[in-house]
Chain A
């Protein structure tokens, strides 16, 4: 079974309209299809792993977003499915994100670890 690393960098792009992040979503779907998946959060996407995000309240006139995205919960679900989720430590630090802010199971990695993660993967999908 090939080992696939999904690199998520472009964050909060359509997440309100989609009710989730499309790359995390397809990573989950590919995992469900039988692949051995891992995910690397870098740049602004490191914030996806921060606990306690609340995107509720969006409304335009009579049209409201009844089910808002819960991306931190989606990360937890990925971890629960056996997807190893990494977050680039330097990108977290630049944004004031501490390891204790992350949902359980996310692994901070340094930028110098990224080449190793790539090398350990059969495929790297940088979305």
Chain B
């Protein structure tokens, strides 16, 4: 592990807010500076890493899937997992109960199942913690 780590708690589901995009940008900026990043995905945020997310066309614009190149949040998160290397770690825990109530257990490679206790442990081990709730 690098000597500095930040922990983020996310709560918003994908495609509903701009806060998650900002949080992921903060995460990448930290990785770029050699700071390890932990993410605790709580409630709707557990959907961010669903493997089955798919790009789609845009019938309003008449674009195809290929034209539109629609992003997926799982693709963004996966790219951060790929980016982390060596001592600079990127870890992601999905709240297990939140996963169960949503039937949202099929994720991309990388995230692990956990709970609030893991989040609390991370907060005690991290240089700092940023909680980003739903508004």
- Give residues in A with beta carbon < 8 Å to B: 12-20, 22, 25, 28-29, 32, 58, 60-63, 65-67, 74, 77
Could you say which of A29, A63, A65, A74 contacts B59, with CB atoms under 8 Å apart?
A29
Contacting pair B21 A16 (CB below 8 A): yes
B 1-36 to A, binary, CB cutoff 8 A, 1 in contact else 0: 000000000000011111011001100100000000
Evaluate whether A18 and B82 lie within 8 angstroms (CB atoms) in the complex, with A32-B60, A63-B71, A63-B76 already known: no
Contacting pair A67 B69 (CB below 8 A): yes
CA distance A15 to B15 in the complex (A): 7
CA distance A28 to B62 in the complex (A): 12
Number of interface residues of B (CB under 8 A): 28
CA distance A99 to B77 in the complex (A): 40
Contacting pair A14 B15 (CB below 8 A): yes
* Chain B facing A: main interface SS: helix
Which residue from chain B places its CB closest to the CB of A68 in the assembled complex?
B71
* Chain A facing B: main interface SS: mixed
Contacting pair A14 B17 (CB below 8 A): yes
Cβ–Cβ < 8 Å partners of B59 in chain A: 29, 32
Contacting pair A66 B60 (CB below 8 A): no
CB distance from A67 to the nearest CB of B (A): 5
- Give residues in B with beta carbon < 8 Å to A: 14-18, 20-21, 24-25, 28, 58-61, 67-71, 73, 75-80, 82-83
Cβ–Cβ < 8 Å partners of B78 in chain A: 63
Evaluate whether A61 and B28 lie within 8 angstroms (CB atoms) in the complex, with A13-B16, A66-B69 already known: yes
Contacting pair B21 A19 (CB below 8 A): no
Cβ–Cβ < 8 Å partners of A62 in chain B: 79, 82-83
Could you say which of B24, B58, B80, B83 contacts A19, with CB atoms under 8 Å apart?
B58
